[in-house]
Amino acid sequence: MLIMKFGGTSVGSSERIKEVGRLINDAKTKIVVLSAMGGVTNILVEICEHFRHQNPQGALSLIEVLSDKYKGVIDSLYSSAESRVRVTAFVQEKMDYIESFKDELFSDFEEKCVLALGELISTEMMKVHLAEIGVATVKLPALDFMVTNKFGEPDLERISESLKKLLSQYPDTKLFLTEGYICRNAYAEIDNLKRGGSDYTASILGACIDAKEVQIWTDIDGMHNNDPRIVEGTSPVRNLHFDEAAELAYFGAKILHPTCIHPAKMQNVPVRLLYTMDPSAPGTLISNVIEPEKIKAVAVKDGITTIKVLSTRLLLAHGFLSRIFEVFERHQTPIDLVTTSEVAVTVAIDNQSRLEEILSELKRFATVSIDNNMSIICIAGDLNWKNVGFEADIIKALEDIPVRMISYGGSNHNVSMVIRTEDKIDALQKLSKKLFSPKK
């Protein structure tokens, strides 16, 4: 069985929905995971913000905008009046549900219920479209099987058990539809998967049923070897190891969330990134296969602050490192990179929300200085320390650019450097020229 996931852009208009319908209409058995239409979740978030701030009129205006958006798609998607009436009624029911909160207390629980509606609507729209063109489908409501535990993590055992039980009821069915992103939490309340959204749903499904492959259909032809928005002439990477893909996603590659492929990796289920606008393009295959001694791609993460913590003693005393890390743990601030010397530790973070409190605590036992407006550049590939020469190529490419930190050795798949954000474009272009241009 295949898992095919389509994001918001892929179902963002009547034309795109029809194209997805053609893509999934074949003889292969599959579960299709659908996101909300492009832009819908953002509107739902804004509506929730208005309700939270007791501005019902602002919410009602956006509900009208959302209704009009759906009406335009419905009018051009369906050829029969019966289909248009059915989907219009379904959408109106959801809009009425959102509107019902205008006089109610609005909490996190209500917000999650509202945010789930985008996926529920897009899946119903696709089901009716397929029925209209004569394609039989079965809807597997995500809220019937996708559950998380008390820590907010997917409960893979329960998901697998529930999903297999549902599938067994339809032994002759080839095409199943389900919603991405949404789930129920440990208390059976409507919730969402947060990290990775619908991609995470697809990966979890692939792991739970031991799928042949998880396909993630996007608006770009695979993971590129550099940021195509910044660097000209980038090209798709045809094969990536799971760890290489995770490193690139964590450090800025927007096509994937860093944690979303973890379930598929654990079950050794390949993940393929494909291009909705050109289904014939080979895309990027992510698996547990490593291509030896090859640098694959470069990614960049902005909004970085580096914090240098200098010991007030001549050498790093016993317990100094643990005291530093405990400060960040107390303030729930992850550390992206860390480097050490005999008297100092420098860390890089991308969450500055608790920065003042962190600095205040660190200054009680150390001298502290910071650098803002920094970026992390990640170079990913088979970077095992026994492979010689790649460090020299990376350093040579950046020989004219000031480097604040270099982190290497924590992973076999990644070398990371912190530079000023103002140098980012120059750095990415020079790395592409040095690492990916044809050798003369």
Residue positions in the annotated binding site for ATP? 5-8, 218-219, 229
Q: How far apart are CA 295 and CA 399, in angstroms?
A: 19
Alpha helix locations (H) across 34-107?
40-52, 56-77, 81-99
Among candidates 366, 198, 384, which has minimal Cα distance to 291? 384
Cα distances (angstroms) measured from residue 26 to each of 22, 23, 124, 137, 174: 8, 7, 20, 12, 9
Q: Check: CB of residue 400 under 8 Å from CB of residue 434.
A: no
Burial of 3 (0-12, 13-18, 19+ CB in 10 A): buried
Element (H, E) at 156: helix 156-168
Contact of 375 with 431, CB cutoff 8 Å: no
Contact at 8 Å (CB) between 194 and 259? no
Q: Which residues contact 15 (CB under 8 A, 6 or more apart)?
A: none
With a CB cutoff of 8 Å and minimum separation 6, the contacts of 280 are none
Numbered residues of the known binding site: 5-8, 41, 119, 218-219, 229
Interhelix angle 108-115/40-52, nearest 10 degrees: 160
Please name the residues in contact with 10: beta carbons below 8 A apart, sequence gap of 6 or more: 16, 19, 20, 35, 217, 218, 219, 276
Strand, coil or helix: what is 33?
A: strand
Q: What number of residues does the chain have?
A: 440
Q: Which residues are annotated as a binding site for substrate?
A: 41, 119
Q: What are phi and psi of 99, to 5 degrees?
A: -60, -25
d(CA 222, CA 216): 9
